[in-house]
């Protein structure tokens, strides 16, 4: 993978933003390999992502930030720049279902996903052997009504120890406490079936089967204190028919879930997602 810097910007829309940024980069011989822009006419905000060859810039990121700061102030930008040579540190969280975490571990193991899988945390011990086969630490922290506060205090401590950049709920069947959602806002990614709110609770595919649904899908989103209502990163659906059994629906649903989660995580670790209010701009 080519060594690049990713410059990500959102700001109030006005004339001259692209020209100013492009002129700044050209002044330092910055070689743009990918450029994405979006103007939201409803909100009046502008969004930008530039990918730049790292070797073309004559200084490191600290100097880049210092040199770019006057432009950021002029245009009231929310911005950051990331280094592709420093993959994001990912902590996976799971329960008993293996399809999502197995898929992510395979993509990481085969170098399809540019991230560093630093640990797995689970409220069950079922998936330990699979995870440890990948030489990734596995932490079993049971969660019950009686020990919930203590358990999540342990989880929060582990997340700090591993310096997690992003936390992926790969079918982790516990609700994160509000304090943890707030602390890691914009850094926790969840996946669930797209039947919500119609078929909430246990056995959603059985409920959907009894209603004769024709589409099943999955939603990948950031976690907030409002359950399953965070900004959406990725979604997909697949069509089914009366010929599909409950088992078929479960199988197809798992396929959609793992693909949507992988695409959502990839977009996040490549700095392609910008959140604004309760929505996202996701650059391809």
Q: What is the CA radius of gyration of the chain?
A: 21
Beta strands of 184-278 (E only): which ranges?
Answer: 188-193, 215-222, 232-239, 273-276
| Nearest residue to 183 (alpha-carbon basis) of 153, 205, 211, 145 | 153
Q: Is 132 left (phi over 0), alpha (psi -120 to 50) or beta?
A: alpha
Signed CA dihedral, 93, 215, 233, 76: sign only: negative
Q: Is 271 a catalytic residue?
A: no
Taking the C-alpha atoms of residue 130 and residue 105, their distance in angstroms, rounded to an integer, is 9
Closest CA to 92 of 116, 68, 114: 116
Query: Phi, psi at residue 179, to the nearest 5°?
Result: -65, -40
| Lateral strand order in the sheet of 45-53 | 32-40, 45-53, 4-12, 78-83
Q: Name the residue among 246, 89, 61, 265 with its Cα closest to residue 163.
A: 89
| Closest to 232 measured CA to CA, from 281, 193, 269, 184 | 281
Task: Give the active site residue among 13, 83, 228, 244.
Answer: 228
Q: What is the Cα–Cα distance from 274 to 284, expressed in whole angstroms?
A: 12
Q: Which residues are catalytic?
A: 228
């Amino acid at each position: 993978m080519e060594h690049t810097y990713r410059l990500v910007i959102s700001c109030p829309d006005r004339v001259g933003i692209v020209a100013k940024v492009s002129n700044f980069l050209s002044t330092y011989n910055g070689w743009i390999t990918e450029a994405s822009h979006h103007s939201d006419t409803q909100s009046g905000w502008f969004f930008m992502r530039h990918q730049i060859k790292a070797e073309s810039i004559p200084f490191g990121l600290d100097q880049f930030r210092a040199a770019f700061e006057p432009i950021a102030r002029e245009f009231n930008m929310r911005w950051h720049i990331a280094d592709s040579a420093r993959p994001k540190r990912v902590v996976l969280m799971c329960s008993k279902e293996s399809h999502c975490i197995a898929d992510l571990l395979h993509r990481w193991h085969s170098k399809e996903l540019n991230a560093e899988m630093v640990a797995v945390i689970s409220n069950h011990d079922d998936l330990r052997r699979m995870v440890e086969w990948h030489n990734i630490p596995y932490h079993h922290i049971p969660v019950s009504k009686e020990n919930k506060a203590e358990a999540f205090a342990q989880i929060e401590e582990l997340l700090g120890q591993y310096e997690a950049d992003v936390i992926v709920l790969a079918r982790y069947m516990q609700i994160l406490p509000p304090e943890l959602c707030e602390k890691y806002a914009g850094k926790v990614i969840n996946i669930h079936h797209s039947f919500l709110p119609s078929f909430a609770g246990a056995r959603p595919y059985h409920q959907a089967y009894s209603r004769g649904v024709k589409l099943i899908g999955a939603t990948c989103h950031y976690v907030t204190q409002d359950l399953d209502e965070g900004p959406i990163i990725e979604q997909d659906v697949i069509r089914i028919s009366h010929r599909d059994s409950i088992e078929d629906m479960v199988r197809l649903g798992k396929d959609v879930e793992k693909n949507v989660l992988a695409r959502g995580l990839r977009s996040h670790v490549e700095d392609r997602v910008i959140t604004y209010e309760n929505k996202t701009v996701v650059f391809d």
